[in-house]
Structure 1
Amino acid sequence: MKRLYFVVPDKGSCQNLVAELRDAGIPNRHLHVVASLTVPLDDLPKAGLTQRTDIVHGFERGLALGGTAGLLGGMLVLAFPPAGVVAGGEALVAAVTAGGAGVGALALSLISKDSHNKDLAAFEDDIAHGRILLMVDVPKDELKHWKQLILAHHPEAEIGVAALPQT
């Protein structure tokens, strides 16, 4: 999947564009709208936590960092077992690795939920000036089709593209 980013000048343009995309077959769960607090979105599909923040990226980094730390910790316990403790070998390493990955993923997810999505940084000025950002998730092989369709009906839209994390 790819995410298309459209900056539209006002709420009316965004409502028209969203209606056209829905009619063309884009499901609501693939439409995400971001605007400043002064712009009421009413019935527009508001962007959720995963679109507005870096929580997914934080989860992935926490999983990798926590898993690595757990693996190293487990290997250290095997190499230098505490006095009087018989280490459980591979099971111990696997358990400590999994525990580290879980703790890391949880910790960095909680930290990242409060940081803005880095992909939205380019649009902060537009949003601050009352324009609306519409994000549309489309299959990678249909990217060109959707860009052409939208620009044919809404030449005022400014388009950007980003890859979505694999799920």
Structure 2
Amino acid sequence: MKHRHVYSTQEMAHARKAIAALHMRGIGNDAISLVARSDVEMDRIPDTLKEADTDSVPAAVRGMELGGATGLLAGLAAVAFAPFGVTLAGAVAIGAMGALVGGWSSALMGAALPDPVRQQFDDEIQAGRVLVLADIEDEQLPALREAMAEAGAADLDYVSPVGAK
């Protein structure tokens, strides 16, 4: 399973050094993202390395899970209450509608929130530092640590399963 690790570099030149050290150890651009203040991102970070700056996708997933569960429970309750005349297929349909509405509304709310890395390390970002995010398998951890030490990047003690952010 992949985990996200976050490191802080002083400026873009240090972040480039960290990226080069990661590449030398077989960690490609698909596993690397950069996060910085908007003025730094606009001018100096290539689009392929920019990290998405909202929480909309994780929020949508959470909303679909909660909306679907709530809709299914409501549908099953309607099945149990005979005067409504809802069948088991109707209960599943109500659950699906709950998942859609929950996912849609949560995605809209999540789009207004910064992603968890930006929330947690806002002070680092506002201070002008460039965060290097690496989504790696557990067996790549020694190579990651070695590369980051070589580049002088500071470990921000953040580990999260990829996809959960």
Greater helix content: 2
Give the counterpart letter for 1:46 in structure 2: L
Alpha-carbon distance in 2 for matches of 1:24, 1:113: 35
Instruction: Give the conservation status (yes or no) of the 8 Å contact 2:33–2:134.
Output: yes
Return the TM-score normalized by structure 2: 0.83
Return the TM-score normalized by structure 1: 0.83
Number of residues paired by the alignment? Answer: 160
Unaligned runs of 5+ in 1: none
Alpha-carbon distance in 2 for matches of 1:23, 1:146: 10
Name the structure 2 match of 1:158.
154
Alpha-carbon distance in 2 for matches of 1:165, 1:104: 22
Shift of 1:42: 4.0
Give the counterpart letter for 1:163 in structure 2: S
Name the structure 1 match of 2:60.
59
Alignment of structure 1 residues 77-116 onto 2, 5 Å? 77-82=78-83, 86-87=85-86, 89-116=87-114
Instruction: Give the conservation status (yes or no) of the 8 Å contact 1:31–1:45.
Output: no
CA deviations on 1:91-132 (whole Å, 9 max, x unpaired) are 111111122112211210121022012233332111111111
Alignment of structure 1 residues 35-74 onto 2, 5 Å? 35-39=36-40, 40-43=43-46, 45-49=48-52, 52-74=53-75
Larger radius of gyration: 1
Give the counterpart letter for 2:34 in structure 1: V
Shift of 1:150: 2.1
Give the alignment's Cα RMSD to 1 decimal.
2.2
Instruction: Give the conservation status (yes or no) of the 8 Å contact 1:5–1:133.
Output: yes
